[in-house]
């Protein structure tokens, strides 16, 4: 029987990206809603991506009693000393939209020169088993914060203001597959793949 991995996200775009990269494992992927955990939101209490990602993966694995992949990600802006970083989702306060958050970044960088607008998206993906085993890997993509948002055609979050290195359009104007090929999440998932494979080989459901 094929093994099942819980991809701990409510975002179908993230699920698609992970299932493409982990497709080589020949396993079945489910989301929290598929296993009765739609409302389960573990906290993200730490100040590093790696601690939050591992904490989230372990919390889901214990709760769902199956192998889990979870991640923590965010945008780290050089001129803001790495902010919003692990606070990217909460940057403009509760109830704020993606557009509110991008506008807040643009306002904070209004006086920052073009050659000082470097930034990176960071993602740590973590794989955990119900027995408390956990592995993680990091992916980074560098780029520049644009002066104005691009069109929101694909993607989510800060994509309209992030132009990856070597490109002239923001993530939000790139075909999804092109973004995934160079994205922080894509890179973290590829880096996690060997450890995830080992975890699944060793996993014995009780
Ligand atoms: P979390 O990883 O779900 O805790 O949230 C990370 C936050 O960082 C998201 O809500 C987005 O605001 C931002 N973020 C992470 N990855 C991306 C991306 O690929 N594009 C745009 N924004 C992102």
Rounded percentage of the chain residues whose pLDDT exceeds 70: 100
pLDDT grade, residue 10 (50/70/90)? confident
Nearest residue to 156 (alpha-carbon basis) of 4, 29, 11, 19: 11
Instruction: Report the chain's mean pLDDT, rounded to a whole number.
Output: 95
- List, for residues 110-131, the tens digit of each pLDDT value: 999 999 999 999 999 999 999 9
- Whole-angstrom CA distances from 191 to 97, 120, 133, 146, 206 are 31, 18, 17, 28, 28
Res. 59: pLDDT tops 90: yes
pLDDT of residue 33: 96
Q: Is 72 a catalytic residue?
A: yes
Higher per-residue confidence, 48 vs 2: 48
Res. 1: pLDDT tops 70: no
Copy the structure tokens of residue 51.
């601690």
Copy the structure tokens of residue 6.
């819980």
pLDDT of residue 176: 87
Domain 4-202 CATH assignment equals 3.90.950.10? yes
- List, for residues 69-111, the tens digit of each pLDDT value: 999 999 999 999 999 999 999 999 999 999 999 999 999 999 9
- Give distance in angstroms: CA of 72 to centre of ligand 1: 8
- Give distance in angstroms: CA of 39 to centre of ligand 1: 19
Q: Which of 71, 72, 98, 159 is catalytic?
A: 72
- List, for residues 160-191, the tens digit of each pLDDT value: 999 999 999 999 999 988 998 999 999 999 99
């Amino acid at each position: 029987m094929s093994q099942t991995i819980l991809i701990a996200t409510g975002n179908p775009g993230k699920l698609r990206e992970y299932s493409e990269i982990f497709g080589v494992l020949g396993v079945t992927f489910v989301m929290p809603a598929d296993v009765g955990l739609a409302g389960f939101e573990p906290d993200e209490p730490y100040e590093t991506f790696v601690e939050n990602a591992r904490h989230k993966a372990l919390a889901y694995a214990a709760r769902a009693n199956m192998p889990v992949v979870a991640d923590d990600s965010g945008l780290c802006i050089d001129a803001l000393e790495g902010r919003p970083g692990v606070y990217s989702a909460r940057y403009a306060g509760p109830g704020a939209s993606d557009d509110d958050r991008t506008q807040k970044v643009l306002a904070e960088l209004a006086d920052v020169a073009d050659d000082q607008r470097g930034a990176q998206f960071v993602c740590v993906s973590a794989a955990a088993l119900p027995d408390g085993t956990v592995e993680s890997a990091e992916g980074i993509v560098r780029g520049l914060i644009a002066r104005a948002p691009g069109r929101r055609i694909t993607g989510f979050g800060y994509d309209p203001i992030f132009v990856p290195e070597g490109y002239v359009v923001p993530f939000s104007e790139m075909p999804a597959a092109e973004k995934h090929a160079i994205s922080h999440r894509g890179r973290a998932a590829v880096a996690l793949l060997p450890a995830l494979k080992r975890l699944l080989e060793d996993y014995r459901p009780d």
